[in-house]
Amino acid sequence: MLQAVNQKGELVPIWKMNRDEIKQKRKQQFFCPACKEPLMIKAGLKNTPHFAHYSKSNCALSGEGSYHENGKKDIYLWLSDQGYQVQLEHYFPDIKQRADVFLEMKKKRIAIEYQCAAITIQEICRRTEGYRSIGVIPIWILGANKLQRKGTQSLRIPSNDQTFLHQFYPSLPLSIFYYCSNTKRFIIYQDLIFLSKTNTFGAIHISSLSSLLWQDLFQPRYRNKALFRKYWQQHKQKWRNKPSSPYQRQENEWRQWLYLHQLNVQTLPSFIYLPITTQFQLKTPPWIWQSRLYIDLILKKEYFTTDQAIHLLRDHYHSSDCFPLVLPTNDPVGEYLRILVRIGILKDVSETKYQVNRTTV
C-alpha cells in the first residue's frame, strides 16, 4: 500500500517521498491501516515507494505487488491533475472496505478498484454491493497483466474476468477496462460480443494515460460492423470444418447429440451460430443453445412462446449475480428469436408467441 499509519496514528504517504525522506522514515515503525500489523518499507530504484506486509500476513491488503501500487498511484495522479477531488486508498468504515482511489464529484461518488491479482466472483460481488449500499459507484479497472489479445479487435476474456464487464446504462455498450502501469496505457474495450465462451470481438481503444481524460473512459465506441462480419464468418467456417478435440467434453457430447438427431456440424442450417450481443449471459457457446432451440422447438412445434424457449434453455444461463456491473439487459434467447423473425424463419403471432415458417425450415 502507498500509505500507512505511524506510531502517532498519522497517515504517512510514503509514495510522495524522496530517497532522503524515506531514509529518515526507516527509523520509524509503521502499521497497516486495515489489520494494524507492522509493515516494512519497500523503496527500490524502479518502483513507487510503498509499504508491505511481512510474508506470513493474512491481511486483504497484503500481496499487492508493485505493478498494482504503480497503477493505483498513476490513476490517482491522473485524476488529481484533471482537477478532481480524489483520495488514495480511501477507507469506508461503514462497509469496512478500502478503495484504491476514491473520486468525489458534484453528484457522484466513485470507487475505483485497480485489480491485478486473482479474485473470486463472490469477492467482486461483495465489494460491489458494499459500495452500492453506501451510494458509491464502483468501477473496476483490470491490470493489463490480465489482458489476452487475440487479434487487432479481439480479446480472450476468461470466465472469471467476465464479472468485470460494465454497462452503465442500457443505451451504452458493454465495456471492460484495462490499465498497464508499465506502459502507462489504458485499454478500453467496448461493444464486445462473445463468439464462444471466451473469445470476443469488439472495439479496442488504446490510449496513453497522458492523452486521456476521465470522461473518455465512458465515451461509447462501437465495433466495426464490416470487420466483425468477416471475423464471424471466418470463425464459423473454421468451426464447421475443424474436428473437435477429444478434450472438449461439452463439444463432443453436443456433436453426439446432433448425430442422434441425424445431423452434424456441416448439415446444420446457417441460422445456427448467429452472433447475439447478450451471449455473455449464457454458459454455453452460441451453436450449442441455438441448435437446441432448433431441434427441440423449431423442428417439433408449429407454435411456441419466448417463455418456452427460455425454459428449455434454463440451465444454459449464468446466474445474474455473475454480472454485478451490468444493468438488467435484454435476454439472449429473445434476441435470437427476433433475428429469426427478421430472416423469415419464424413469424410473429404476438409479442411473445412465434409460428415456425415451414416454407423456410
Cell 518502483, located at residue:
47
Length of the chain (residues): 361
Contact with Zn ion (CB under 5 A): which of 2, 5, 34, 313?
Answer: 34
Instruction: Take residue 329 and report the three cell numbers written for it.
Output: 439487459
- Strands 353-356, 303-305: parallel, antiparallel or unpaired by DSSP? antiparallel
The interface region with Zn ion, picked from 31-39, 69-77, 111-119, 121-129 by CB under 5 A, is 31-39
Q: Minimal distance in Å, beta carbon 96 to Zn ion?
A: 12
Footprint (CB under 5 A) of Zn ion, residues 1-20 = none
Measure CA 131 to chain center: 18
Q: Minimal distance in Å, beta carbon 304 to Zn ion?
A: 56
Q: Is 61 in the site for Zn ion (CB under 5 A)?
A: yes
Q: Decide: 112 and 99 in contact? Cβ < 8 Å.
A: yes
The interface region with Zn ion, picked from 61-69, 119-127, 182-190, 316-324 by CB under 5 A, is 61-69
Q: Is 32 in the site for Zn ion (CB under 5 A)?
A: yes
Residue with smaller CB distance to Zn ion, 35 or 312? 35
Residue with smaller CB distance to Zn ion, 35 or 295? 35
Residue with smaller CB distance to Zn ion, 89 or 191? 89
Residue with smaller CB distance to Zn ion, 59 or 77? 59
The interface region with Zn ion, picked from 54-62, 158-166, 222-230, 317-325 by CB under 5 A, is 54-62
Q: Minimal distance in Å, beta carbon 57 to Zn ion?
A: 6
Q: Is 59 in the site for Zn ion (CB under 5 A)?
A: yes
Q: Is 35 in the site for Zn ion (CB under 5 A)?
A: yes
Q: Minimal distance in Å, beta carbon 3 to Zn ion?
A: 12
Total residues interacting with Zn ion, rule: CB under 5 A: 5
Q: Minimal distance in Å, beta carbon 34 to Zn ion?
A: 4
Residue with smaller CB distance to Zn ion, 32 or 333? 32
Q: Minimal distance in Å, beta carbon 91 to Zn ion?
A: 12
The interface region with Zn ion, picked from 43-51, 57-65, 134-142, 273-281 by CB under 5 A, is 57-65
Q: Return d(Cα 92, Cα 95) in angstroms, integer.
A: 6
Residue with smaller CB distance to Zn ion, 35 or 119? 35
Residue with smaller CB distance to Zn ion, 11 or 105? 11
The interface region with Zn ion, picked from 55-63, 116-124, 167-175, 270-278 by CB under 5 A, is 55-63
Residue with smaller CB distance to Zn ion, 59 or 312? 59
Residues that bind Zn ion (CB under 5 A): 32, 34-35, 59, 61
